[in-house]
Structure 1
Amino acid sequence: MKKTIYIFSDGELKRKDNTLFFEGENGRKFIPVENTSEIMVFGEVSLNKRLFEFLTQSEIILHFFNHYGYYVGSYYPREHLNSGYMILRQAEYYNDGSKRLYLAQKFVEGAYKNIKQVLKYYSNRGKDLEDVIYSIEKLGESVDLTSTINELMAIEGNIREYYYKAFDEIIQNPDFKFDFRSKRPPQNFLNTLISFGNSLMYTTTLSEIYKTHLDPRIGFLHATNFRRFSLNLDVSEIFKPIIVDMTIFTLLSKKWLLKKTLKKMQKDYYSKKKGKKYLCRNLKINLLQLLNTGIFLTMFLIEDL
């Protein structure tokens, strides 16, 4: 099975004949092209045109993150699985209000069920979450009753608002208080971990879409507009609770990720290299448990198109 390569150091990514290598402060490290599906770049890395040509030929995606761990963008090689029929069908479902709503409801339904699963897992382990679970279940019952995307997204937002209220009860660590969800920039350590984990989820999902005939620019829950991709945001909603959030809860409960691995800079918090490596390694394990089946995308879309 192909794997993900993470580059945290500064250096240069180069092509040598029919292979890749990264040259940094610790010397030269070769990257097995035949076993690599994507490369996540967090350091300051130099690239050239010859390298991009080889990445396209090898169908390897590059994802870039800035100094704070925010997703910047991707080098997405030309699609190697092209299907005009599939693009037309995706567009048809997006333009047809009832069809788009149906698919959007399925994404929210999947997210809701996994959120409830996470909460019940911790409730069964002594966390006081019964009131939160009850409120979320009442909201979940109305997902299929929505008549517009805006109404659906409002319900999804309310579900997550209740869900986030459970984080402090689950974690119970004063160094990682949730308080409220903040994104750009995240206002505390826990929000930084969530944002960083979500970025990895979005990019990994984008890489999986690349292996299908689906077009990542046409989403259903998130509006298809001038943003580069939206389908990966749709699919990621389902898996963020059981992959990103559960990983963070586990890292904190086992004290594998401590406050000292993070630091404050210009009133903004971001993961240090050690913290990013911990999250990448553990998120990667959880992601592979779902992605190695090769069907988690198609089971929500292909059957209905």
Structure 2
Amino acid sequence: MRIIANLKNPFILKIPDQTHEKTYYLFNSGRMSRKDNTLKFTPVDEGGKEGQPKYIPVEGVSDLYCFGALDANSALYNFLGKEQIAVHFFDYYEHYTGSFMPKEYLLAGKMQIEQTKHYYSKAKRIIIAQKFVEGAAFNILKNLKYYQSRGKDLEGIIETIERYSTSIFTTTDIDMLMGIEGNIRQTYYEAFDVILNDFAMNGRSKQPPKNEVNALVSFGNMMCYTLCLGQIYHTQLNPTISFLHEPGYRRYSLALDLAEIFKPILVDRVIFKVLNKREIHAKDFDVQVNSVVLKDAARKVFVRSFEERLNETIKHRSLNRSVSYKHLVKLECYKLTKHLLNMEEYKPFKAWW
């Protein structure tokens, strides 16, 4: 797959997917407005000086990721809403701060009722939550066995996670299940120090991340979360009703559930690649007293590698055709939909290659 990046125009990066629509990443602060049937983005530096405007045909945009301050008015958001374009916002520390999501055009009453019923039923909810953890654990082990076969000594970590995994379906409540999931994830992160050649994780730290690896994990996890949110939006599922994570007032918690399955293969594999192949270096991080954040150069490298991963295709065993990793996330939403409507038992995605 070929990535399109205009190096002479460093404030914006556009990434094509398998459709004609593209994801646009805005790394600089600026002002966006509507001009006829295009989006006009004018970068503005810290001194208030405007740069050369960039014009983006609206029919070619799937969503926008904003890593700098975006100045826009309600007329623009009305326009984006009509065109079904989502906007995701991140702060300076790469924390996801929220999304502008167009009106849910596929929400259906029956699905909303069934999704709510499965949440309120302890027996039904735990079954779905267990499947999410099962899929996450399987894909974690897939990563570890891949690197074990390439000379990394991960046998003890693999055995520990396999032992934890046997307890997933013996859990009787969400708190117990979350405890097992936490043990699996903590053990898994110990393997990062073995897999990575020149960097060390030294345990998971977040809000803020304490070192370079943790900064990449936090950033990548937020990218995976927004990806899952975007795919949920194109189904009848309600993103605020979840099963593993407790629904909250301010977050789309179903995206957190789905992200657990895909983080090992979409985020972690990209982290291992960009660090072990030295595509990102220590100088690409802003190391502060109590936190570490990615500089713009590192963000762009990670975003390109992440999108390359999303657009890779594999031969789907059931569909008997090639599908992208990005489309696998949407297929996961469809499988969950069928489960909630009692059409087909939900089975989590498990990497088979």
TM-score class, shorter-chain normalisation, is over 0.9
Structure 1 counterpart of 2:274: 251
Structure 1, gaps ≥5 residues long: none
One-letter amino acid of the counterpart of residue 23, structure 2: T
Distance 1:48 1:266 in 2: 37
- Give how far 1:82 is off: 2.1
Q: CA deviation at 1:111?
A: 0.2
What is residue 238 of structure 1 aligned with on the other side?
A: 261
Contact 1:79 1:210 in 2 (8 A): yes
Q: Which residue of the partner structure matches residue 29 of structure 2? A: 10
Deviations along 1:152-197, one digit per CA (max 9) or x if unpaired, are: 1111001111101110000031xx2111101111111110010000
Measure the CA separation in 2 of the matches of 1:228 and 1:135: 32
**Residue of structure 2 equivalent to 1:109:** 134
Q: Does 2:152 match 1:89?
A: no
Aligned to 2:165: 140
In 1: Cα distance, 2:240 partner to 2:340 partner: 18
Whole-Å Cα distance in 2 between the matches of residues 35 and 110 of structure 1? 34
Query: 1:130 offset after TM fit, Å?
Result: 0.5
Asked whether 1:181 is paired with 2:204, we answer yes
Counterpart in the other structure of 2:249: 226
Query: For structure 1, which segment, 128-137 or 17-26, has the greater mean C-alpha deviation from structure 2 after superposition?
Result: 17-26
For residue 99 of structure 1, report the CA deviation from its aligned partner: 0.5
Contact 1:263 1:269 in 2 (8 A): yes
Report if aligned partners of 2:237, 2:333 keep a CA contact under 8 Å in 1.
Answer: no
Offset at 1:266? 4.2
Partner of 2:327: 292
Classify the secondary structure of the residue corresponding to 1:114. Answer: helix
CA distance in structure 2 between the aligned counterparts of 1:267 and 1:157, rounded to whole angstroms: 24
Question: Offset of 1:19 from its aligned partner?
Answer: 1.7
Equivalent residue number for residue 22 of structure 1 = 41
Whichever residue aligns with residue 79 of structure 2, its letter is F
Corresponding position of 2:89? 64
Q: Are 2:146 and 1:121 aligned?
A: yes
Q: 1:301 to 1:143 in 2, by over 3 A?
A: farther
- Measured after TM superposition, the shift of residue 235 of structure 1 is 0.1
Amino acid in the other structure paired with 2:136: A
User: Quick check: 1:216–1:230 contact (8 Å CA) kept in 2?
Assistant: yes
Which sits farther off after the overlay, 280-289 or 251-260?
Answer: 280-289
Residue 285 of structure 1 and its aligned partner are, at CA, apart by: 2.0
Between the aligned residues of both structures, percent identity stands at: 43
Q: Does 1:39 align with 2:58?
A: no
Equivalent residue of 1:105, what SS? helix
What do residues 48-101 of structure 1 show as CA deviations (whole Å, max 9, x unaligned)? 111000000000000000111111111111111120111111000000001000
The question of 1:210 aligning with 2:245 is answered: no
What letter is aligned with 2:281?
L
Asked if the contact 2:115/2:340 (under 8 Å) is kept, the reply is: no
Alignment-mate amino acid for residue 90 of structure 1: Q
For the residues of structure 1 that align with 2:282 and 2:338, how far apart are their CA atoms? 43
* Paired amino acid for 1:244: V
Whole-Å Cα distance in 2 between the matches of residues 33 and 49 of structure 1?
17
Q: Which amino acid aligns with 1:284?
A: E
Moved more, 280-289 or 110-119: 280-289
Deviation at 1:144, TM superposition (A): 1.2
- 1:106 maps to a residue whose letter is K
Q: Is the 8 Å Cα contact of residues 42 and 53 (structure 2) preserved in structure 1?
A: yes
- The alpha carbon displacement at 1:147 in A equals 0.9
AA at the equivalent of 2:85: I
Contact 2:37 2:57 in 1 (8 A): no
- Name the SS of the counterpart of 1:14 in structure 2: strand
TM-score w.r.t. the length of structure 1 is 0.96
Question: Higher mean Cα deviation, 21-30 or 204-213?
Answer: 21-30
2:114·2:340 contact (CA, 8 Å) conserved in 1?
no
How far does residue 26 in structure 1 lie from its aligned partner after superposition?
4.2
Higher helix share: 1
> Is the CA contact 1:290–1:296 (under 8 Å) kept in the aligned structure 2?
no
Partner SS state of residue 147, structure 2: helix
| Distance in 2 between residues matched to 1:52 and 1:221, nearest whole Å | 32
Match of 2:321 in 1: none
Instruction: Please name the residue that 1:281 is paired with.
Output: 304
Gaps of 5+ in 2: 1-18, 44-49, 312-323, 342-353
CA contact (8 A) 1:193 1:248 kept: yes
